[in-house]
Amino acid sequence: MLRSIQRYAQVALLIVGSAILLYSCDKESVAEEPNDEALMTEYSEHLTMTNTENGRKSYVFSAPLVEGYSLAKEPYQEFRKGVDIVTYQKDSTGAVDVTLTANYAIHYGNRKLWEAKGNVVVKKSNGQELYTQQLFWNEKTRRIWSNVDSKIVEESGNSYIVEGFESDDQLKDWKFRRIKGRMWVNIEPTRDADSTSVKPVADNVSAAKEAVSEQPVKPARPIRGNDRKIQLTPVESNDRSL
């Protein structure tokens, strides 16, 4: 009887020990299994990449830090310390065409989609400028757009504050969702024949009042009615009445 009890106890301990051992092994295997989504496959500091076409410099891409995740479901490259991009004119050996700077950028490789965020500034050699906090660029369609308030400066100096926009990447085909404000520039000759003065005029009520107040005020003249006499403002005359 005692031997039977001891035998059953040994079998029970053996089963429990095996279960504990299998559980611990499974737990360790799960813990050691890498997470492909968070696995960094690319790392680079102080990256500067220059591209040439037909022997001419096409663009220069600079980033203090590059981190790539090619094993993620949506492979991407992240530029957490910002980017600096300079493109060059095709018909010139070194003339700058467009510059872009941003505090942060991310590139989705499969979709060929770029997103820049934080103090995004785009400047063209013809004088056009773009200021925004968010900018998307699709490499396939060559289109750019933004969903936040942006400031757009034209070649003439006229500027617009818009709530979202879309355009080609050459900044020629603009489509504004909503214009929140505008400012245009009038160039008027000064007394000096060799110089000009630039005067911005804002499209709002206060600026309109200021513009009106600057106009010279002519003295009002009396107006005659058919059967009554009206005097608006006294003027210097021998006969003040009508």
pLDDT digits (tens, 9 = 90+) for 229-239: 434 344 444 44
Confidence of residue 215 (pLDDT cuts 50, 70, 90): very low
**Residue pLDDT, tens place only, 66-92:** 999 999 999 999 999 999 999 999 887
Q: Is residue 217 part of a domain?
A: no
* Nearest of 68, 142, 71 to residue 105 by alpha carbon: 68
Q: Which residue has the tokens 């050691």?
A: 32
Do 103 and 63 form a contact (C-beta atoms < 8 A)?
no
Which of 31-45, 62-76, 113-127 shows the lowest per-residue confidence on average (mean pLDDT)? 31-45
Whether residue 30 is contained in a domain is answered as no
- pLDDT for residue 126 is more than 60: yes
In tens, the pLDDT along 4-29 reads 544 544 545 445 455 555 555 555 44
Top-confidence residue, 206 or 43: 43
The verdict on residue 148 lying in a domain is yes
Distance (Å, whole) CA 39 – CA 119: 29
What pairing do the DSSP bridges indicate for beta strands 223-224 and 143-153?
A: unpaired
Residue 193 has pLDDT above 50, yes or no: no
- CB count within 10 Å of CB 160 equals 19
Domain assignment of residue 206, yes or no: no
Q: Does the reported pTM lie above 0.95?
A: no
Structure confidence at residue 229 (pLDDT): 42
The tokens describing 183, both together, are 């400012």
CA distance 173 to 38: 39
* 233 within some domain: no
Does residue 55 belong to any structural domain of this protein? yes
Q: What is the pLDDT of residues 135-163, one digit of tens each?
A: 999 999 999 999 999 999 999 889 999 99
Q: Which residues, at least 6 apart from 105, have a Cβ–Cβ distance to it below 8 Å?
A: 63, 78, 79, 82, 83, 114, 115, 116, 117
Residue 58 lies in a domain: yes
φ, ψ dihedrals at 14, nearest 5°? -65, -40
Distance CA 18, CA 125 (A): 74
Q: Torsion angle of alpha carbons 185, 193, 213, 156, nearest 10°? A: 0
What is the domain range of residue 128? 36-183
DSSP 9-71: HHHHHHHHHHHHHHHHHHHHHHHHS--GGG---EEEEEEEEEEEETTEEEEEEEEEEEEEETT
Q: How many domains, in total, are found in the chain?
A: 1
Token duo for residue 202: 């804002």
Here the CATH number for the domain that contains residue 179 is 2.60.450.10
Q: Which of 212, 241, 210, 208 is nearest to 224 (CA)?
A: 241
Q: What string of H, E and C letters represents the secondary structure of 137-166?
A: EECCCCEEEEEEEEEEECCCCCEEEEEEEE
Residue 118 inside a domain? The answer is: yes
